[in-house]
Structure 1
Amino acid sequence: MYAMHYEITLPADYDMQIIRNRIADRGHMTDAYAGLGLKAYLLRERDKAGATLNQYSPFYLWNDTAGMNRFLWEGGGFQGIVESFGRPVVQTWSGLLCLRGPAAGASPRAATRERVLLPREADLAQAARDAIAEVERIAKHSSVFASASAIDPRSWERVIFTLWADTPEAVVPGERYEVQHLSRPGFDELARSAE
């Protein structure tokens, strides 16, 4: 599993309905995308749900690099982002675990992303075990659709990404997003059930 995320920050007075319309028009294009576990079409709107900026911020979990590569540089979808907004920095993480939560049958309405830099002296095996344990803990919440953890070995940053059927639990820190659409062609192969 590979996690991928990019953020497109928009002007403070940007009409976010433009992004909502874009997602409504184009979101279905990844509903059957080969190699994709899931794509959450996320946004943050200034002065709503604690957001301080306007941002379009898709998050992906890939089952394989072939699909990810096709998307990024073989005309498989990312070119539309580049043409509309310029080329954003694409963050990637090596995936550790994705768990299906009790609300996996619902449509997610919100998402959280927690990023933590691992200390230089951190035991990496323990850091991975801790990230897995955190996802196992979060995935038990009744309103969780799914939760995933991953680590970027370039920056040694850990990310935990969670999709929620309702408002995110206060016990989970990080940025909060609205989910406008969820494509999940390979989700069943990607995620296992939380025990």
Structure 2
Amino acid sequence: MIQDITTSIRTTVVLWLLTALIYPLLILVIGQGIFPAQANGSLIVNDQGQVIGSTLIGQAFSSEEYFWSRPSAVDYSIGEAAAPTGLSGATNLAPSNPDLLALTEERAEILQAANIAPTADLLYSSGSGLDPHISPASAIAQIDRIAAVRNLSLDDLQTLITQNTEGRFLGIFGEPAVNTVTLNLSLDQR
């Protein structure tokens, strides 16, 4: 019985060392050594050295001079309710819920008023509520509005969309998507 207890204590200590110390340190070293930008949140820094966002988290763009991103059920963690850690989440409204239908119709009216053809990702929020990506079709649907406001050519905007379009993961998973955060930052830098 003493031998069994000693063996279980040794096993617990060895597994604790592996899972609580060695593995996390190994992952930290690999992350900081090989993928430092991603390991630190894919942060976007302006010319003054201030963090202005992340390429992984969407932002609310409502101005006419910017590409609009997907709507967010949590308003991209804006306001007092989001402090200090931020919020994420979907609406949790079922497809048959009349509130979801009303919300979708309201968004469609806003898009039609801005002469933008409603697309699924401009009408519905993402599962996390924080997705910065829209489809290339949704970005192209907004080109005329932005070209008029910013006095840019359609070709210049199309080039910016192409430059900020991320392809399929490993070439086969998912769909191409445009990151609205980096796209709007590129617009400001023009």
Q: TM-score, normalised by structure 1?
A: 0.27
Bigger radius of gyration: 2
- Higher RCO by CA contacts (8 Å cutoff, separation 6 or greater): 1
Which structure has greater strand proportion? 1
Which structure has greater helix proportion? 2
Q: TM-score, normalised by structure 2?
A: 0.27
